[in-house]
Structure 1
Amino acid sequence: MNKLSQACLILCSSSVLFLTGCQHFTQPQLPKNTHESANQFNLQGKIGVRTPQQSGSAFFTWSQQQQNFNIELTGILGMGKTQIQGQNGKVTLNSAKTGLITASSPEELLERATGWQAPITHIISWVQARPATTQAQTNLDANGRINHIQEDGWDVDLSYDAEQKLPNKLILKQMLEDNKENRITMVIQNR
C-alpha cells in the first residue's frame, strides 16, 4: 500500500473553504472537563488527502465515544473496506491489503505507516468546531461560529450549512517548503 493510502486511512481514524463573513481573532478558553463529555458523535462522509506526491479519497463512517472510536473506510484507492479502532493507549488498523497495524496513538500509527507527523487527535475537536488546545488561534464568522483554527502548524477552515452550529466541511492545510502543502478535506454528510 502506498504512503498516501496509509495517510488517508490514518487521518480518517483519529479521525477542513474559505473564510466568510465578519471575522474576529480570539484566543480560545477551553472549559474544563467539557471535552471529555462532548466527545460523543457519529459522522458519515468523505475524506480526501492531497500531498505534493499524490492524492486520494475514501468514504468514512466514524463513531466516537469519549476516547474510544471506530472508523470504517471504503473505496480508498480500490482497497475495499478498512477498519480502524481505538481505545485509550491502543489504535489498530486492519484491512486485507495491510493486515493488522497497531500503535499506542493515532499519531504514532500515522508516523509508523507513512513517516508523516500530524496532530490527528485534534481532528476530534475540529469536527466539533472547537480548538484542541489553549494555544490555538481562532476566527469567528458573522454568526459567532469558529470558521478558522490555526493550531500546531495546521490551518483549519470550517464551513457550515445555513445556520448549523457544527461544520459540514473542514479543510486542513499544512504549509511545506517551496510553497507546497499537505491538504486534508473532510465533507461531513451526516451527523
Structure 2
Amino acid sequence: MKLLRIRIFYLFSFVFVLVLTGCATKPQAPISLNASAHQAQLANIHQWSIKGRMAFKSTEDKFSANLNWVQNTQEYDVKFTTFIGTHLMSMRSTDEFAEMQIDDQYYVDANAETLIQRTTGWHIPLSHLPQWIKGQFTENATYRFDERGLLQSLSPHCTSCGEWQITFGQYQKINHVWLPHQLVLTNPLEHNTQIKIRIHTWQLL
C-alpha cells in the first residue's frame, strides 16, 4: 500500500508539471516588419475611427478631453467630451468647408486649422493628423524607424506642416495592421505647444 501511494503521488506530480508546462505562455516572436511595406499598408487605410484622450498645452493655454475621431477618406468628424461624456467641442471637415460647435455656437471656415485657431487660439495640425495618427510619414520628412520597422519619430519638412516634431509609441496590431496608440507632438515655435494623444481603441472601417 505504501509503495502504491508513492507511485500515485509521483504520477500526480508528473501530471501537474505537464499541466503547468502546457498553461505557460509561450514567448512571442519579436516583430520584424518591412518598413516600406508597412507604410504602403497604412497609406491604403482611408476609413477608421479612434477613441482616446488628447491633451493640449502651450505657454498660453492648456486643454484636456476625451477624443472621438471618425475619418472617412478626406472628411472627418472630431468630438471632444469631458470624462463623463459632456460635449465640449465638435468639428466636421470636408473638402469644401469646416464647421465647429462650441457652447451651442456654430462657426464655419474654409480651413479646419484656421477655424480652430481662430475660435480657440490653439494651433493643431488637423490637415496632417489623419496620416500621423496612423503612424504614416509625410513626404519630404525626416523620420526614424525602430528595430521592428515601425515609425518612431517624424520631422515633417513642408510649408503647411510647420515645425512639428512627432514621436510614436505603444504600437498594437489591429486587424493585421500595426498602429500606434500614443503620439506626442511638439512645436517650440508655436508657443511651445505640446499635444499628447493617447488612443484607447482603434477601429478600421
Give TM-score, length-normalised by structure 2: 0.67
Partner of 2:179: 166
1:40 aligns with 2:47: yes
| 1:74–1:159 distance in 2 versus 1, CA, 3 Å | same
Kindly report which structure 2 residues correspond to 1:82-97, keeping only aligned pairs within 5 A, or say none. 82-96=89-103
Change (3 A) 1:83 1:185: same
Give the whole-Å Cα distance in 2 for the aligned partners of 1:81 and 1:110: 13
Indicate the residue corresponding to 1:182 in structure 2.
Answer: 193
Q: Give the share of equivalent positions with the same residue, in percent.
A: 19
Quick one: which amino acid aligns to residue 185 of structure 2? L
Deviation at 1:89, TM superposition (A): 1.7
Which deviations, in whole Å up to 9, do the C-alpha atoms of 1:105-128 show, x marking residues without a partner? Answer: 212213322455553211110011
The 5 Å alignment of 1:48-87 reads 48-75=55-82, 80-87=87-94
Measure how far apart 1:90 and its partner are.
Answer: 0.9
Q: Which has the higher contact order (CA 8 A, sep 6+)?
A: 1
In 1, distance between residues paired with 2:81 and 2:119?
A: 18
**Structure 1 unaligned blocks of 5 or more:** 1-25
Q: In structure 1, what is the Cα distance between the partners aligned to 2:90 and 2:124?
A: 20
Which protein is bigger by CA-based radius of gyration? 2
Q: Distance in 2 between matches of 1:91 and 1:181?
A: 26
Question: 2 CA distance for matches of 1:116 and 1:49?
Answer: 8
Name structure 2 gaps, 5 residues minimum. 1-34
User: SS of the counterpart of 1:38?
Assistant: coil
Q: What is the rounded CA distance, in whole Å, between the counterparts of 2:166 and 2:135 in structure 1?
A: 10
**Mapped contact 2:89–2:101 kept (Cα < 8 A):** yes
Q: 1:106 to 1:182 in 2, by over 3 A?
A: same
* Cα distance in structure 2, aligned partners of 1:116 and 1:68: 21
Aligned to 1:128: 134
Number of residue pairs the alignment of both structures matches: 156
Shift of 1:104: 1.1
More helix by share: 2
Give the superposition deviation at 1:50. 0.6
